[in-house]
Amino acid sequence: MNKKRLWIGGVVVLLGAVIAGGIWGFRWFMGQPLYEPGTLSSHPGLEPVSYDQEGLWRVAEDIELSHFARGDGRNVLYIHGGPGVPPQESIPAFDRLSDTYRVHYYAQRGTGDSTRPIRGFGAGNAWENIQTLVGSLGIREQLADIERIRRILGDEKLIIVGHSYGGLLAALYAAERPQHVSTLVLIAPAALLVMPAPHGGLFDGIRARLPESQHAEYDAWLERYFDLGAAFSKREAELEVLDGELVRYWEAAVGPLPPTAAAPKEAAGVWMARAQYFSMGQRHDWTAALTAISAPTLTVHGTDDIQELVISEMYRDPIQDARIVSIEGGGHFMHHTHPDEVATAIRERLADAR
């Protein structure tokens, strides 16, 4: 599939605003990311406002993050994927670690029961809308929240586990703050380290496994989904329906989602997801940034994942102390479906790191 075609709708809608948007708008139109590794250090506010208050971390004056924890022992922070789909309950693989580790789950800003600073847009300049969206929910803000959570937990060095898109966020945080990561675990990290993805990504993997009779329908949905400019004229409920269609295609291609991985469409962060796409742009290569990661790293790959092994290798290769463990028969949600194998791999890596 031609990746450029997926973006054409949004580009056409936004073209008229390029001049008004100046250099900032021009960068996105030319495909450049609106986030660059290394920019977290210039963030003006990384100190959290307050600590845990009835299941909420107040990380900024206007942002509270919903969270819960399971287990006892060293803190582990789980970064969920999607983008924008928070866990609704504890994950089986991490439950296997609860005798030694306390796993903290949270809904990223803009998702679940956490604060949603963006609920929609009225009429306005498209570039101003993008700046507002990225400035509230973009990659740098998500990484800043991870740093604030680390300070709330009181760990000088934190064990971080990221899944899928959360794996990308976890890796970028470890590159931005290598001195504050004890061990990094990436479970089926998203094929977004380089864009366009040289080996295909999640959407390509779904299409490859769909019956050919559904290809045209799926392609039409992708066109609507990636028409980013049109999103600003839609209500949040409309975007929830649009994004929720992905589950139908996923299940037609791969099979039912594990019950513990499923979430109601209302929990998804539709604006958070689009903030990530604008942050990433159409073209980037963040491979070199990962060379800054000093933490022992484990990448967990499922042999039946719709993403190829080479994606996990792209994360592993730039990191000095990194290894891959393959889970036989594991898919994209192997920490739900193969909990014993995934837990064993994580426990062994954590033991080695210590």
Task: Give the residue extent of every domain in the chain.
Answer: 3-353
Average pLDDT, 10 consecutive residues per value, the chain (354 residues): 38 36 49 93 90 85 96 98 96 98 98 96 85 97 98 96 98 98 98 94 95 98 94 94 96 96 92 97 96 98 97 98 98 98 98 82
What is the third-level CATH fold of 3-353? Rossmann fold (3.40.50)
Model confidence, pTM: 0.92
Q: Is 118 helix (H, G, I), strand (E, B) or coil?
A: coil
| Distance in angstroms (rounded) separating the CA atoms of residues 354 and 344 | 15
Per-residue CA distances from 103 to 84, 92, 94, 106, 212 (Å): 19, 11, 7, 10, 41
Phi-psi region of 287 (alpha: psi -120 to 50; beta: other; left: phi over 0): alpha
Q: What is the pLDDT of residue 8?
A: 32
Task: Give me 59's structure tokens.
Answer: 């990380």
Residue 54's pLDDT is what? 78
pLDDT of residue 119: 94
So what's the pLDDT on residue 70?
A: 97
For the beta sheet containing 322-327, the strands, ordered from the edge strand earlier in sequence to the opposite edge, are 56-60, 63-70, 101-106, 74-79, 158-163, 181-187, 297-302, 322-327
